[in-house]
């Protein structure tokens, strides 16, 4: 989604803004722009396409704003790119102005002329019309008219050296790094050795006189503490490979960090909710939803606690279900996903207790939940979730174990095995050569199925999502038992099927499904830790997984699938880190 950055630097402000925009690229975008303010006034450079298109002689000035835009209102063109300028003001915006049509009509009726099709341009006009000599008051008045979500940064030609920023519903952090002051969408944009502080909804950040100040709409200062970002810098993609490949390689280390955090985590504050929740819900989107479904499996089977699992957008679309006495587990890598946040707000407004699982300690989700578990996966730059998914699973299996403890007075039998996960994940890398072979065999297929049974049905869905999003190959993940109810119709000579079979009790049933697809000519890959499953004559591509207790196998079985998706993507000539149409942090509904 869009990323914003504001910078005050006496040296090379333009270069610093460009570098920050590059560090925001992972969020996903399709146009970019920069405005700098100098004694000569505003200079703006904005273009459709990548940040690289902004190259050219540096724009002059010590104060500037920049933007990466992920098109919502209006195509990704030069004109629709931010910053938007109106009179003395230049504005960058992340979010959606829901009442923009009405505001735009009112502004046009008052004589304003619009250049772009964006919702964001209304903000520049509103600020310009509200301005009576007080820059901050004009931004505050404009923000007061906006409905929807926004993080904005504004320059004013009357006030060189000043930037006014505001947050409502979209993330915004202030920080210092390398002698410059910044306000931006997230911590990785700050680069190495940064100190930062996140804004809360309704807060403003001002850069003025070489200092950063937080304040409320009335201008009254809000005291804040800045924290050093821990490894918060965004790693640069090395010649050795894409971010996605490196992030898959980091899975064992990330799982170790997750375990360290969980060991010290105090679940006592949610003991009451764990013990006595009337209903337990799990809400999330995308990959995090697949992890939430794995939580449902574990909580129901191990703790005997039924869990209602919802896509966060669906949870919001239905009559509110959760209320007082209920526990809602919300899962989000970024902690900024609009639908997940919306579901959490809805649940909390109805009195439910929210336990969040997120990778970003200063995220909105962490701030709004009653208690937050941090995954500690480290920054994930590639758009497709990989290491964060494995760490989410680990957190959620850990939470299911706590649920079991609070409800049954004992930990489930898999609890001790959780601590073997880092080593077992490393062992799962030995399946990469088999995944490579499968990728070469299936690279030109028009579509493929991923099938699993029980807990591996979630892994099948996750494998299919990865392939769709980065290899642009239609893939469906489904419970193997569903094949006969429709999907089998598509299976013909050469159709690729990737199956997961990691439960001994279900081996025979999976063998039946494989026989069905093989009889219709499918090419079959099978992932299992069981030799008898791998030796099935229906299997063309056996993928051997390391042995671990069955409950935890989804943490391992997904790893070769992540690698398979990445290899398919590269073989088909695409960039795994920046899939088309997608964004890392989905901050709009």
Residues that bind ligand F6R (CB under 6 A): 285-288, 332-334, 337, 340, 384-385, 465, 469, 586
Give the CA distances from residue 365 to residues 103, 170, 339, 467, 471, in Å, rounded to whole numbers and listed in that order. Answer: 30, 11, 11, 28, 30
Looking at 153-285, list the stretches that DSSP marks H as alpha helix, in order from N- to C-terminal side: 243-249, 251-264, 271-276
Tell me the residue ranges of DSSP E strands in 142-236: 148-156, 163-168, 173-177, 180-184, 195-198, 204-208, 211-215, 227-228
- If 0-12 CB within 10 Å is exposed, 13-18 middle and 19+ buried, where does residue 324 land? exposed
CA–CA gap between residue 157 and residue 292 (Å, rounded): 49
Least separation in angstroms between CB 139 and ligand F6R: 29
C-beta of 34 vs 558, nearer to ligand F6R: 558
Active site residue 584: yes
Least separation in angstroms between CB 384 and ligand F6R: 4
392, 393, 398, 401: CA torsion to nearest 10: 140
Least separation in angstroms between CB 387 and ligand F6R: 11
Least separation in angstroms between CB 540 and ligand F6R: 27
Q: What would the two tokens of residue 278 be? A: 């009337």
C-beta of 180 vs 568, nearer to ligand F6R: 568
C-beta of 255 vs 341, nearer to ligand F6R: 341
Counting every residue written for the chain, the total comes to: 589
Least separation in angstroms between CB 570 and ligand F6R: 16
Least separation in angstroms between CB 334 and ligand F6R: 3
Least separation in angstroms between CB 389 and ligand F6R: 7
Looking at 236-374, list the stretches that DSSP marks H as alpha helix, in order from N- to C-terminal side: 243-249, 251-264, 271-276, 286-303, 312-317, 338-349, 364-368
C-beta of 7 vs 312, nearer to ligand F6R: 312
C-beta of 180 vs 288, nearer to ligand F6R: 288
Q: Calculate helix-pair angle for 135-143, 121-130, nearest 10 degrees.
A: 130
Give the active site residue among 387, 466, 468, 584: 584
Q: Phi and psi (nearest 5°) for 208?
A: -160, 135
Give me the residue label for tokens 């609890």: 415
Q: Specify the DSSP element, H or E, that contains 85.
A: strand 84-86
C-beta of 84 vs 578, nearer to ligand F6R: 578
C-beta of 13 vs 365, nearer to ligand F6R: 365
CA–CA gap between residue 365 and residue 346 (Å, rounded): 13
List the one residue out of 320, 340, 333 whose CA is nearest residue 291: 333
Residue number of the CB closest to ligand F6R reads 286
Q: What would the two tokens of residue 93 be? A: 């915006």
Give the active site residue among 2, 7, 156, 404: 2
CA–CA gap between residue 28 and residue 369 (Å, rounded): 26
Specify the 3-state DSSP secondary structure of 327.
strand
Least separation in angstroms between CB 255 and ligand F6R: 17
C-beta of 546 vs 576, nearer to ligand F6R: 576
Q: What would the two tokens of residue 497 be? A: 């099927």
Active site residue 184: no
Catalytic center residues:
2, 584
């Amino acid at each position: 989604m869009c990323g914003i950055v504001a910078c005050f630097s006496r040296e090379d402000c333009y270069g610093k803004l460009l570098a920050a925009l590059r560090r925001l690229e992972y969020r996903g975008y399709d146009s970019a722009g920069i405005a700098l303010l100098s004694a000569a006034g505003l200079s703006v450079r904005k273009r459709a396409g990548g940040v690289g298109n902004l190259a050219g002689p540096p724009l002059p000035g010590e104060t500037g704003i920049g933007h990466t835009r992920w098109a919502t209102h209006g195509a990704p063109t030069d004109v629709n790119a931010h910053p938007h300028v109106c009179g003395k003001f230049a504005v960058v915006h992340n979010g959606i102005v829901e009442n923009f049509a009405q505001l735009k009509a009112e502004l046009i009726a008052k004589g304003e002329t619009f250049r772009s099709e964006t919702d964001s341009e209304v903000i520049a006009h509103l600020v310009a019309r509200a301005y009576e000599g007080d820059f901050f008051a004009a931004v505050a008045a404009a923000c007061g008219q906006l409905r929807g979500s926004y993080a904005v940064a504004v320059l004013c030609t009357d006030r060189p050296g000043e930037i006014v920023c505001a947050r409502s519903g979209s993330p915004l952090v202030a920080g210092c790094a390398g002698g410059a002051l910044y306000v931006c969408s997230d911590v990785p944009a700050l680069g190495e050795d940064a100190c930062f502080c996140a804004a809360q909804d309704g807060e403003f950040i001002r850069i003025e006189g070489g200092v950063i100040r937080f304040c409320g709409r009335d201008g009254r200062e809000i005291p804040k503490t800045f924290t050093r970002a821990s490894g918060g810098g965004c790693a640069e993609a090395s010649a050795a490979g894409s971010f996605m490949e490196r992030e898959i390689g980091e899975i064992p280390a990330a799982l170790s960090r997750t375990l360290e955090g969980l060991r010290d985590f105090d679940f006592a504050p949610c003991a009451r909710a764990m013990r006595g929740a009337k209903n337990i819900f799990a809400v999330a989107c995308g990959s995090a939803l697949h992890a939430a479904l794995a939580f449902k499996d574990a909580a129901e089977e191990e703790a005997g606690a039924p869990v209602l699992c919802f896509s966060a957008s669906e949870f919001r679309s239905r009559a509110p279900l959760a209320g007082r006495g209920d526990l809602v587990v919300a899962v989000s890598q970024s902690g900024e996903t609009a639908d997940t946040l919306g579901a959490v707000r809805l649940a909390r407004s109805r009195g439910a207790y929210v336990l969040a699982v997120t990778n970003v300690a200063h995220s909105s989700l962490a701030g709004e939940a009653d208690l937050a578990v941090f995954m500690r996966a480290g920054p994930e730059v590639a758009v497709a979730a990989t290491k964060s998914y494995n760490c989410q699973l680990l957190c959620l299996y850990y939470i299911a174990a706590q649920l079991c403890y609070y409800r049954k007075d004992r930990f489930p039998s898999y609890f001790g095995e959780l601590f073997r996960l880092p080593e077992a994940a490393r062992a799962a890398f030995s399946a990469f050569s088999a995944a490579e072979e499968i990728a070469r065999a299936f690279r030109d297929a028009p579509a493929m199925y991923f099938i699993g049974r029980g807990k591996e049905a979630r892994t099948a869905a996750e494998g299919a999502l990865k392939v769709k999003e980065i290899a642009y190959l239609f893939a469906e993940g489904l419970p193997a038992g569903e094949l006969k109810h429709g999907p089998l119709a598509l299976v013909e000579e050469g159709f690729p099927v990737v199956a997961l079979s990691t439960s001994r009790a279900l081996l025979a049933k999976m063998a039946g499904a494989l026989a069905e697809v093989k009889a219709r000519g499918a090419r079959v890959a099978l992932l299992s830790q069981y030799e008898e499953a791998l030796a099935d004559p229906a299997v063309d591509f056996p993928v051997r997984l390391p042995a671990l207790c069955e409950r935890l196998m989804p943490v391992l079985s997904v790893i070769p699938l992540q690698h398979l998706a990445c290899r398919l993507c590269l073989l088909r000539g695409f960039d795994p880190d920046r899939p088309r149409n997608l964004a890392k942090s989905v901050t709009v509904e």
